[in-house]
Structure 1
Amino acid sequence: MKHLFTLLSFLVLSYTQAQSILIVDNDPVVDTTPSHMFDNITDAISAANNGDIIYVQPSITGYGAVTIDKEITLFGSGYAPELNDGRRSELSSVRIDADNIKISGFYISTFITYNSSTSTSDNVLIEDNYINQTIYVGSATASHTTTNNNWIIRGNVINYGINLHADPTKCVNTVITNNHITLLNNSTSATYALRYFNDTTVFNNNVVRINFTWGNVNIFPNMTGDVTVFNNIFISNGVNTLFAPTTGRILTINNSISYMSTGGTISLTLPGTGNFDNQNPFFTSVASTLFDIAVEDDFTLSPSSPGLNAGSDGNDIGIYNGDYDFDMRGYPTELPYLTSFTISNNLINAGENINVNVQANANKSN
């Protein structure tokens, strides 16, 4: 099944892309002698040219830490694919060290971070991934000299937070939309938040869980400009003051919902207009009372939700705003994915044909 998926993806991309396609598979039984086949991502990146696409097969073994230092696209199979017996395309961390990079469809067990060299890392798209820690778009040190402009972060599950650059001139036009984000702290770790946002930052249509165990917090600390955000759902799992702006900066939150999942109320109202303070968002079906995420959950809004058609654009508040198709399994938007694979005669004699029925959904970008 895995190899047929590769073939389907390869055929589709061959007709729609002018770039070369490279395939990475660390399964020891796979033949990686062809020039486009590799058993690790580092070698594939070394062999790639700017504009190429690397497809990383699902595996029971992770592919380790990756530094992307060319203008390429990396596609995984999704962070929770349905028909791979638990296999997924997993990385331990990702370092973005070039311009014009896209990464989609991966489970990333720690973080994604900006470049460490003197090069820029502009025009980056991070989509349909599960990031188990923080995304660092830029440095917390304002003297860091490189730029990290025009990042788009959408359709992801992010478990700690997002940090931009402490110098707003080096982190322009960051777009953060349609993500499920968890912010957390505890007695032994630092506080993770939405840090160093500036007046060019777009933060719309997200679900934000504030999973703190102590203290009243500002979830938008260290703002480096006045920030206006739209159409988000903020769910507190126990703490109170959440929306106090950073001293000297103005935070405006419009057309959004706040809710205390553990009972009680959040005393500080959302600082803007068109909001629903301390109201249950009434998702269609979410198993956890703390609103973490599983593939069986449905974060669309039910008919009783106050957020229906209440966004700034007349669409629903939250991660399904407008026509965006948030994918609970992290399938890359551009690729088809298998929905059924059936062998009807799995016991055959030598020389006979195997009868296979394959069904797939078309890519979501069409």
Structure 2
Amino acid sequence: MKSLTLLIAFALSINIANSTVINVSNSPNAPINPPHTVATLQAGIDAASDGDTLYLHGTNISYGDATVSNKDLVIIGAGFGNNLQNGTNAKSIIGTISFQNYNGIKNITLVGILMLEPKCGNDNNNTVNILTIERCGVRPDGSTSNFLRCNTLFFKQSVLGDQPNESTYFNPVVKANAYFSNSVLQGNFNGAYLSSSRFENNIFKKSGNYNIYYYGRIDGINGTSIFTNNIFFEQYGIFVSNCTFNNNIFETLGSLENSNTGAGNLFNTPAQMVAVGGKYSTMARADFSTAVDYKLTPESAGKNAGTDGKDIGIYGGTNPIPPELRINGVPALPRITQLTLKNMSVAPGGTLEIELKAEKVN
């Protein structure tokens, strides 16, 4: 009998409802077996068809840049944070992923990946229809002219943060609707291209850059956005107008200005999160590590103070971070913890008996 312990998501190279799961691993010891298991992200993308899923194994080795040309895909990684379940520290890392030559209605879903920029190199008429970014860590490298370009954006349970020792200025380009929920949004955020947007249960933070301490504001939006159950950490600046703010915590703001309206907001109120540190601290610069704990303390004024009676911040709302976890990007998939081969020898036409043990992560 042979027992193998695996720390991978339950995504095998099988056909499910006419779609294929392609394993991608750049580990030197990975068993490469094209087209079901390939060594590079680009090879996996090139081999995939519309509706396929790529599982990007966590190796802590960057898969580099990649381009998707007019395909409807799901790409799932192992997570972006440190200290993942079962004592592993295996992140799925890529560089810039670009979407080109899109036509018709095709969607992209990215889950559990640490990346630079998801962007489109085409104009607004030839881009991804729905772009979903879930449980990802996104570190734009400064070239944001086509950043998050799509028709509709869902950005949830993720971190939009700065590169180490740099300031950040994010400029999403979304044609129709943008929905940011249960995420940490760090740096300057310009919403000029967001024709309609909702921000629910997020944490807005200044850049972690020691030298450029003033990078932390949201601006460029006039009357198109609704902000609900968010935490605006420290001196984060609000420079939007004619927007609606309900049940948010403003740590240093005394009132709404610029014709913004709303109710249930907490002004000049500390959020009292468990462990976040100030903008100059090491912890404030560690958004991609589970050393940062954004849970509210029992004494926080934001406990059960959201519009839905749940916590303000990333642990409340409709897409909450699971209460037992810190934000780390581990996908909400069953994970195989043990695979046991019951019979090592199988006759032609016989049955291979396998015993699997798995756990649901969150």
Sort the TM-score into its range (normalised by shorter chain): 0.7 to 0.9
Distance 1:277 1:77, change over 3 A: same
- Taking the TM superposition and a 5 Å limit, the aligned residue runs for 1:275-290 are 275-283=265-273, 285-290=274-279
* 1:126 lines up with 2:133 in the alignment: yes
1:251 alignment counterpart: 243
- Taking the TM superposition and a 5 Å limit, the aligned residue runs for 1:152-231 are 152-159=154-161, 160=168, 162-165=170-173, 171-183=175-187, 192-196=188-192, 198=194, 200-211=196-207, 219-223=217-221, 225-231=223-229
Counterpart Cα distance in 2 of 1:20 and 1:66: 19
Distance 1:325 1:359, change over 3 A: farther
2:49 alignment counterpart: 49
Counterpart Cα distance in 2 of 1:39 and 1:33: 9
Aligned residues of 2:4 and 2:338 also touching (Cα < 8 A)? no
* 1:148 lines up with 2:150 in the alignment: yes
Distance 1:147 1:154, change over 3 A: closer
2:244 is paired with a residue whose SS is strand
Counterpart Cα distance in 2 of 1:150 and 1:198: 10
> Greater shift after overlay, 58-67 or 289-298?
289-298
1:46 is paired with a residue whose SS is helix
Aligned residues of 1:199 and 1:225 also touching (Cα < 8 A)? no
**1:113 to partner: Cα distance:** 1.7
Aligned residues of 2:149 and 2:172 also touching (Cα < 8 A)? no
Aligned residues of 1:310 and 1:317 also touching (Cα < 8 A)? yes
Equivalenced residue count is: 317
2:45 is paired with a residue whose SS is helix
Aligned residues of 1:234 and 1:257 also touching (Cα < 8 A)? yes
Distance 1:40 1:363, change over 3 A: same
Identity of aligned residues (%): 22
Deviation by residue 1:172-200 (Cα, 9 ceiling, x = unmatched): 111111101111xxxxxxxx323315452
1:94 alignment counterpart: 97
1:150 is paired with a residue whose SS is strand
* 1:116 lines up with 2:122 in the alignment: yes
**1:277 to partner: Cα distance:** 1.0
2:205 is paired with a residue whose SS is strand
Counterpart Cα distance in 2 of 1:100 and 1:2: 36
> Greater shift after overlay, 318-327 or 274-283?
318-327
TM-score normalised per structure 1:
0.74
Deviation by residue 1:181-222 (Cα, 9 ceiling, x = unmatched): 111xxxxxxxx3233154521111101112376687882322
- Taking the TM superposition and a 5 Å limit, the aligned residue runs for 1:293-312 are 293=287, 294-312=289-307
Aligned residues of 2:157 and 2:327 also touching (Cα < 8 A)? no
Aligned residues of 2:206 and 2:213 also touching (Cα < 8 A)? no
TM-score normalised per structure 2:
0.75
Aligned residues of 1:106 and 1:129 also touching (Cα < 8 A)? yes
> Greater shift after overlay, 94-103 or 205-214?
205-214
Aligned residues of 2:119 and 2:149 also touching (Cα < 8 A)? no
**1:361 to partner: Cα distance:** 2.8
Counterpart Cα distance in 2 of 1:315 and 1:203: 16
**1:297 to partner: Cα distance:** 3.6
Greater relative contact order structure (CA < 8 Å, 6+ sep)? 2
Counterpart Cα distance in 1 of 2:28 and 2:216: 49
* 1:104 lines up with 2:111 in the alignment: yes
Distance 1:60 1:318, change over 3 A: closer
2:219 is paired with a residue whose SS is coil
Distance 1:89 1:216, change over 3 A: closer
Aligned residues of 1:127 and 1:155 also touching (Cα < 8 A)? yes
Where does structure 2 lack aligned partners over 5 or more consecutive residues? Answer: 162-167, 341-354
1:74 alignment counterpart: 75
Deviation by residue 1:307-349 (Cα, 9 ceiling, x = unmatched): 122212222211111353426221112x2236x6799xxxxxx
1:221 is paired with a residue whose SS is strand
2:165 alignment counterpart: none
Counterpart Cα distance in 1 of 2:60 and 2:242: 47
